[in-house]
């Protein structure tokens, strides 16, 4: 049995910097990774998806430029698009490998499981350490639909291995992955159908966010089938046929299943270490990331944290500070996220409904993007900016931005909220004209007008 100072299980965006920092400080670090180094972000998440969407949205914008008086004929070289995506992914993956090698982290490329309280074993390596960090992430949840198993359906895990553009794409699920990749293939030329169990897309967001995105998808020619379930999947002669609960059937050359995520904890045998899981299989942690076993911590989405790279990265920064004796917690931060459809969705903090449910005396103001000078000039009609504030303290509680590049704009609210600023700080700011950012002080000024 080997000994180490730190064991990291999983090479996601929190585990990698933690492992390299400790190794550079002179500690012996062993990292176990059963799959590609870099975790989901580098290999089948942020990096390849946004490289893919760069091409898809370029094509979509060109096609929709007719209202500006620009008529174009778009020709998509899909193999070249995907070759570029895979090239960027490979470069990032190699960068992770080089970073670990330079830091002299011992990497074990194998499935890891606990065989004792602080003992981790792969097929031919057993390591004991006083400190263990679990960073195993999540993977696609697959529904138990008759006929689905054994077919070559897509998830975000194998989507980027596509070599040819499918003539018809069927998507089960309407969360952010389904919308991003589904809209992306539609903009590159696939006839796309979304099968939605509920009555709206991106159902975790406010209703008008869903309505705006549904309108945008329709502009791209995407068919959205609401309030239906898939009862049967048939795959014959390279064609998927879905039987829906409303009696209809849909056929396509590709099927993508994106109904949600599940934690990668099944193979860990955490019971051997005394680590407890919740009912959904996520690792139980306290506010300092510690599991139910002393010396074992968990970060990222395997521990039920929001499934975003920046969250895992900030988990790493906080856990490192905690291990160094600082008073940090996983809650001492303002969290935001974005959906990279077009229009984009930028989100931070609470919605009005969420604030009201917590008993906060809150109010919201909304500014449609078609009332913003830059939106009118650029022909962007869909979207809005919304801010939620606490009436009693004037603090900003949250923001929802739907529109062009709102993933960038939402950082204004992130910074203001991190600084505990009031909405008056934004109202008094002088933003450049004409920009989309100029509308943020205008949004705040609606609070004055409404008084």
Q: Give the whole-angstrom CA distance, residue 6 versus residue 15.
A: 11
* CATH domain 343-450 topology: Enolase-like; domain 1 (3.30.390)
Q: 159-259 — its CATH code?
A: 3.50.50.60
Q: Is the omega angle on the peptide bond into residue 434 within 30 degrees of 0, that is, cis? A: yes
Backbone φ and ψ for 224, nearest 5 degrees, come out as -110, 125
- Digit-by-digit pLDDT tens for the chain (451 residues) are 899 999 999 999 999 999 999 999 999 999 999 999 999 999 999 999 999 999 999 999 999 999 999 999 999 999 999 999 999 999 999 999 999 999 999 999 999 999 999 999 998 899 999 999 999 999 999 999 999 999 999 999 999 999 999 999 999 999 999 999 999 999 999 999 999 999 999 999 999 999 999 999 999 999 999 999 999 999 999 999 999 999 999 999 999 999 999 999 999 999 999 999 999 999 999 999 999 999 999 999 999 998 899 999 999 999 999 999 999 999 999 999 999 999 999 999 999 999 999 999 999 999 999 999 999 999 999 999 999 999 999 999 999 999 999 999 999 999 999 999 999 999 999 999 999 999 999 999 999 966 5
Q: Is the omega angle on the peptide bond into residue 343 within 30 degrees of 0, that is, cis? A: yes
Nearest Cα neighbor of 9 from 85, 82, 95, 107 is: 107
Asked whether the domain spanning 159-259 has the same topology as the one spanning 2-139+262-323, the reply is: yes
61-89 burial: b if 16+ Cβ within 10 Å, else e: eebbeeeeeeeeeeebebeebbebbbebb
DSSP-assigned letters across all residues of 99-161: HHHHHT-EEE-S--EEEETTEEE-SS-EEE-S-EEE---EEE-----TTTTTS--B-TTTGGG
Residue in the structure block whose two tokens are 């585990």: 15
Dihedral Cα 352, 358, 361, 367, nearest 10 deg: -10
DSSP strand pairing (2-3 vs 384-390): unpaired
Neighbour order of strands in the sheet with 223-225: 223-225, 191-195, 168-172, 254-257
Cβ 396 vs Cβ 423: under 8 Å: yes
Q: Give the whole-angstrom CA distance, residue 322 versus residue 330.
A: 10
Tokens of residue 213, six digits:
């995105």
Cβ 137 vs Cβ 264: under 8 Å: yes
Q: Give the whole-angstrom CA distance, residue 192 versus residue 10.
A: 35
Q: Give the whole-angstrom CA distance, residue 24 versus residue 31.
A: 14
Nearest Cα neighbor of 344 from 205, 449, 230 is: 205
User: pLDDT at position 336, please?
Assistant: 96
User: pLDDT at position 207, please?
Assistant: 97
DSSP secondary structure letter of residue 277: B
Q: How far is CA 348 from the centre of its chain?
A: 14
| Residue-range domain boundaries for the chain | 2-139+262-323, 159-259, 343-450
Cα separation values, 16 from 46, 191, 385, Å: 16, 39, 36
Q: Give the whole-angstrom CA distance, residue 37 versus residue 40.
A: 9
E strand or H helix at 87: helix 78-103
pTM: 0.95
DSSP secondary structure letter of residue 227: S
Nearest Cα neighbor of 6 from 16, 14, 17, 23 is: 23
Q: Which CATH architecture has domain 2-139+262-323?
A: 3-Layer(bba) Sandwich (3.50)
Q: Give the whole-angstrom CA distance, residue 326 versus residue 402.
A: 38
DSSP strand pairing (362-368 vs 384-390): antiparallel
């Amino acid at each position: 049995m080997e000994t180490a100072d730190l064991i990291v299980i999983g090479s996601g965006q929190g585990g990698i910097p933690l492992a390299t920092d400790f190794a550079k400080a002179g500690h012996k670090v062993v990292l176990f990774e059963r799959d590609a180094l870099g975790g989901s972000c580098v290999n089948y998440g942020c990096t390849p998806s946004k490289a893919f969407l760069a091409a898809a949205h370029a094509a979509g914008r060109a096609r929709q430029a007719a209202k500006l008086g620009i008529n174009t004929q778009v020709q998509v070289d899909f193999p070249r698009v995907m070759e570029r995506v895979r090239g960027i992914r490979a470069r990032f993956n190699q960068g992770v490998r080089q970073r670990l090698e330079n830091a002299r982290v011992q990497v074990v490329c194998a499935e890891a499981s606990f065989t004792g309280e602080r003992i981790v074993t792969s097929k031919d390596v057993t390591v004991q350490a006083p400190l263990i960090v679990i960073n195993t992430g999540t993977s696609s949840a697959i529904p138990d639909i008759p006929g689905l198993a054994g077919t070559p359906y897509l998830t975000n895990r194998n989507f980027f291995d596509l070599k040819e553009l499918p003539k018809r794409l069927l998507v089960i699920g309407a969360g952010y992955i389904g919308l991003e990749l589904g809209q992306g293939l539609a903009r590159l030329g696939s006839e796309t159908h979304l099968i939605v169990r509920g009555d709206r897309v991106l159902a975790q967001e406010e209703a008008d966010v869903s309505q705006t995105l549904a309108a945008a998808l329709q502009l791209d020619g995407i068919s959205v089938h609401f309030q239906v379930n898939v009862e049967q999947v048939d795959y014959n002669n390279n064609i998927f046929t879905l039987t829906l609960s409303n009696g209809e059937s849909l056929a396509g050359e590709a099927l993508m299943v994106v109904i949600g995520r599940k934690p990668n904890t099944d193979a860990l045998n955490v019971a051997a270490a005394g680590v407890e899981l919740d009912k959904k299989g996520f690792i139980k942690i306290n506010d300092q990331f510690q599991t139910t076993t002393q010396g074992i911590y968990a970060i990222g989405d395997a521990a039920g944290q929001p499934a975003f790279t920046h969250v895992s990265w900030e988990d790493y920064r906080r856990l490192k500070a905690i291990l160094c004796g600082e008073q940090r917690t996983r809650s001492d931060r303002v969290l935001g996220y974005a959906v990279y459809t077009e229009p984009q969705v930028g989100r931070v903090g609470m919605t009005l409904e969420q604030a009201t449910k917590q008993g906060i005396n809150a109010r919201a103001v909304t500014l449609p993007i078609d009332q913003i000078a830059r939106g009118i000039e650029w022909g962007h009609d869909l979207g809005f900016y919304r801010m939620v504030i606490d009436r009693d303290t004037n603090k900003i509680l949250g923001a929802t931005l739907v529109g062009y590049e709102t993933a960038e704009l939402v950082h204004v609210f992130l910074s203001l909220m991190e600084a505990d600023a009031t909405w008056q700080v934004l109202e008094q700011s002088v933003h450049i004209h004409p920009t989309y950012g100029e509308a943020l002080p205008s949004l705040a000024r609606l609070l004055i007008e409404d008084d």
